Amino acid sequence: MTATRPDFEQEDNPPETDDALDSKDEFPDEVEMTLGEHLEELRTRLFWALGTFIAATIGCFIFVKPIVDLLQKPAGTTVKFIQTIPGEFFFVSFKVAAYSGLMVAAPMILYQIVRFVLPGLSRRERKLILPIVVGSSVLFVVGVVFAFMVLAPAALNFFVSYGDGVVDQTWTIERYFDLMFVMLISTGIVFQVPILQVLLGVTGIVSSERMFSVWRYVSVFAVVLGAVVTPSTDPLTQTFLAGAVTILYFGGAGAVKLIGK
């Protein structure tokens, strides 16, 4: 007569129960809150985000001249900057400090947004939050650096060379910084393409196979986007941005494929 082991001894690794399988869809920090409590939480997050932005803007205003000197470098040494009205540079300094302060405070602002929405996210969604937030921040910084190091010098050099020998290169300080910040911020936003692709793939709206199949249309779109975002009309600057967008798109499609979508 053969002895049998008890059931709890025969199976060391029992199959997951339905509760275990659904644990990823649970909301571990879900707390019942009244409307007033939600508004109070929102007020607290806005207070910290706005306070950080104001503090960063004040700090950037204190060091605004080194920041201005840095942002003028892509124009080269042949361009002379002027102010056409009294106090123009003073008001431009506030604009430069505000944009710079926003970039410095962006991590804290993003952190406060995550803290506000985190209790309403399931375990499955929380696993996506950190990679998306970090990836979006890194891509924005890379986009700004790419615009500053590659796009801005190419575009400004085109403007200088086009008017060489015809007009003196004397630019108003306000128009120049408007051009620079539009280029920097728009390029940083354009570099969010892979994040958008991952979100579309995770939600099942678009598969990686579909993304790879429309690469021809994406290439045309990248060229058009390069013409819209870059302020100059030279093909070199547009090609730089179009090439970067195309590489980012294929990278995003590859990331969607790696996660099995």
* Among the listed residues 148, 171, 176, 159, the one whose alpha carbon sits nearest the alpha carbon of residue 70: 148
Cα separation of 186 and 99, whole Å? Answer: 13
Question: Are 115 and 46 a contacting pair, CB within 8 Å?
Answer: no
The two structure tokens encoding residue 83: 């102010």
For the chain, report the end-to-end CA distance as a whole number of angstroms. Answer: 53
Question: Are 241 and 230 a contacting pair, CB within 8 Å?
Answer: yes
In the chain, where the domains are located: 34-138+171-185
Question: Are 112 and 208 a contacting pair, CB within 8 Å?
Answer: no
Confidence of residue 153 (pLDDT cuts 50, 70, 90): confident
Of the given ranges (46-50, 77-81, 146-150), which has the lowest mean pLDDT?
77-81
Residue 193 burial class via C-beta count within 10 angstroms: exposed 0-12, middle 13-18, buried 19 and up: buried
Confidence of residue 34 (pLDDT cuts 50, 70, 90): low
33-42, 161-170, 251-260, range with greatest mean pLDDT: 251-260
Confidence of residue 32 (pLDDT cuts 50, 70, 90): low
Averaged pLDDT for residues 33-62: 85
The two counts, helices (H) then strands (E), for the chain are 12, 2
Confidence of residue 5 (pLDDT cuts 50, 70, 90): very low
Q: Kindly report, residue by residue over 190-201, the tens digit of the pLDDT.
A: 888 888 888 777
pLDDT reading at 109 higher than 80: yes
- The pTM (predicted TM-score) of the whole model is 0.73
Residue written as token pair 């879900």: 30
pLDDT reading at 210 higher than 60: yes
Helical packing angle, 35-62 and 88-117, nearest 10°: 150
- CB atoms under 10 Å from CB of 116, counted, come to 16
Q: What is the model's pLDDT at position 225?
A: 75
Confidence of residue 247 (pLDDT cuts 50, 70, 90): confident
Q: What is the model's pLDDT at position 231?
A: 59
Percent of all residues in the chain with a pLDDT value above 70, rounded to a whole number: 77
Averaged pLDDT for residues 89-96: 89
pLDDT reading at 9 higher than 50: no
Question: Are 248 and 256 a contacting pair, CB within 8 Å?
Answer: no
Q: What is the model's pLDDT at position 178?
A: 85
Cα separation of 23 and 54, whole Å? Answer: 41
